[in-house]
Amino acid sequence: MAHAEITPATGIPPLGFPGMGALAALVLGAVGLAVGFGTAQAALFLIGGGLGIALYHAAFGFTSAWRVFIADGRGRGLRVQMLLLAMAVVLFFPALASGTLFGNEVRGLISPAGLGVIAGAFMFGIGMQLGGGCASGTLFTAGGGNARMLVTLVFFIIGSVLATIHFHWWAALPAFQPTALWQPFGAWGGIAVSLAIFAAIALLTVRVERRRHGALERPAAPPRHGLARWLRGPWPLVAGAVALVVLNWLTLAIAGRPWGITAAFALWGAKAAQAIGIDPTAWEYWQMPANAQALAAPVLADITSVMNFGIIAGAMLAAALAGRFAPSLRIPLRSVLAAVVGGLLLGYGSRIAYGCNIGAYFSGIASGSLHGYLWVVAAFAGNVLGVRMRPWFFMEGRASRADG
């Protein structure tokens, strides 16, 4: 991949057109949103930008971390994910149990745990490995200039809107009522139970890695230090985890609920369907009050959509700062096919499972939702199958930065 020429005085590459465009989009977008939709919407757009920068610079990939553990037995990425979740529950549970944060009413992403979650998360897990990313990974890698991930994103959207046609059938399958760990145990009891689960998973990865490799993997020495590293990357994985937790917590404070991604994809698909003469309001999903309101309103009034746009712009800015924004349309046919199939599975699965790696896994478990834990088990099983399917579609043998 081509790299931009570095400015000697600062060690920072010129932003070029993509970087300047991304920076302008973040600034002008925030101003426009503040004027048209309020300061909260503008703040959430900028938080999305921060998430895009953190995801790109830390290469914080859920998909690649799971694949590396499944294929190679290396668990550093999974251990950082457990740290991410541990920090999140410590911040989220007290606020959710009290119902307020900074005086604002807040609620978690707590959904039924049942057969729909199992089926959807399993589909999503396969899609992660074939599509080359999860929900957050698709957005930040597409924003960072990965043309193949644009294919995944398009079919992610198509799969999402297709799932809304059948959503009520899946939702009617047997399921436990929405439950959060902080409800029966209290905030601090729920935190203790959660931390015990995360510690057990982390210890399991340590045991597996030491058995297979004799020692734990050490992160590579960074190519940059000081300010240049924070502007151009790569960031330490732990720094990325801290940034994601803090920004998700700010999302909770401002939006009144945690960070989500894929509901917006269904909305975008439904609006596209309307544009070509298809009426999604005939489907029960779009007759639900909140969904009907979102479909009737402008896209920029939707919190999730605005944050997604911010993630794309932030990742583009980060890629320009790193000197790595160099899209290529030379994509092998099998890789395109994998992006199509993976995108459809990601979109369909995330809708019927009440979320993705962000809405169900990260924010769901940060909310204490039992459906988040069920999602992880089913999605991991899907990833195992997806990893076994990858050799037919891809030539690489190891995880790469292109996966999210």
pLDDT digits (tens, 9 = 90+) for 258-311: 999 999 999 999 999 999 999 999 999 999 999 999 999 999 999 999 999 999
**Residue numbers of the domain that contains 301:** 16-214+228-393
- Across the range 186-191, mean pLDDT stands at 97
Q: Is residue 404 one of the residues assigned to a domain?
A: no
pTM to 2 decimal places: 0.93
β-sheet bridge partners, residue 7: 12
pLDDT digits (tens, 9 = 90+) for 124-163: 999 999 999 898 989 999 988 888 999 999 999 999 999 9
- Across the range 11-17, mean pLDDT stands at 67
pLDDT digits (tens, 9 = 90+) for 212-237: 999 999 988 888 888 888 988 899 99
Q: List b or e across 280-298, with b for residues whose CB sees 16 or more CB atoms inside 10 angstroms.
A: beebebbeeeebeebbeee
Task: Report whether 161 contacts 266 (CB < 8 A).
Answer: yes
Helix 76-98 to helix 182-213 angle (10° resolution) is 170
Supply the pLDDT for residue 258.
Answer: 98
Supply the pLDDT for residue 222.
Answer: 87
Supply the pLDDT for residue 395.
Answer: 66
Q: Is residue 5 one of the residues assigned to a domain?
A: no
Q: Is residue 2 one of the residues assigned to a domain?
A: no
Q: Is 396 helix (H, G, I), strand (E, B) or coil?
A: coil
Q: Which helix (H) or strand (E) holds 104?
A: strand 104-105
d(CA 360, CA 344): 18
Q: Is 256 helix (H, G, I), strand (E, B) or coil?
A: coil
62 Cβ neighbours under 8 A, 6+ residues apart: 81, 128, 134, 136, 137, 357, 361, 404
Which of 17-21, 136-140, 195-199, 323-327 holds the top average pLDDT? 195-199
The per-residue pLDDT of the chain, averaged, comes to: 92
- Across the range 225-251, mean pLDDT stands at 94
Q: Is 367 helix (H, G, I), strand (E, B) or coil?
A: coil
Read off the tokens for 281.
């309001």
Q: Confidence band (pLDDT; 50, 70, 90) for 403?
A: low
Read off the tokens for 353.
């499972």
Q: Is residue 223 one of the residues assigned to a domain?
A: no
Closest CA to 375 of 387, 366, 365, 367: 365
Q: Is residue 400 one of the residues assigned to a domain?
A: no
d(CA 21, CA 16): 8
Q: Confidence band (pLDDT; 50, 70, 90) for 330?
A: confident
The total number of structural domains that make up the chain: 1
Q: Which of 9-18, 46-55, 182-191, 389-398 comes out lowest in average pLDDT?
A: 9-18
Q: Is 58 helix (H, G, I), strand (E, B) or coil?
A: coil
End-to-end distance of the chain based on CA atoms, in angstroms? 18
- Across the range 392-398, mean pLDDT stands at 66
Supply the pLDDT for residue 271.
Answer: 98
| CA pseudo-torsion sign 154, 160, 165, 169 | positive
Q: Is residue 109 one of the residues assigned to a domain?
A: yes
Rounded percentage of the chain residues whose pLDDT exceeds 90? 81
Q: Is residue 293 one of the residues assigned to a domain?
A: yes
Q: Is residue 352 one of the residues assigned to a domain?
A: yes
pLDDT digits (tens, 9 = 90+) for 27-74: 999 999 999 999 999 999 999 999 999 999 999 889 999 999 999 999
- Across the range 328-356, mean pLDDT stands at 94
Supply the pLDDT for residue 228.
Answer: 86
Give the chain's radius of gyration (CA, Å): 20
Supply the pLDDT for residue 224.
Answer: 87
Supply the pLDDT for residue 7.
Answer: 47
DSSP assignments along 283-341, one per residue: SGGGGSHHHHHHHHS-GGG-HHHHHHHHHHHHHHHHHHHTT---------HHHHHHHHH
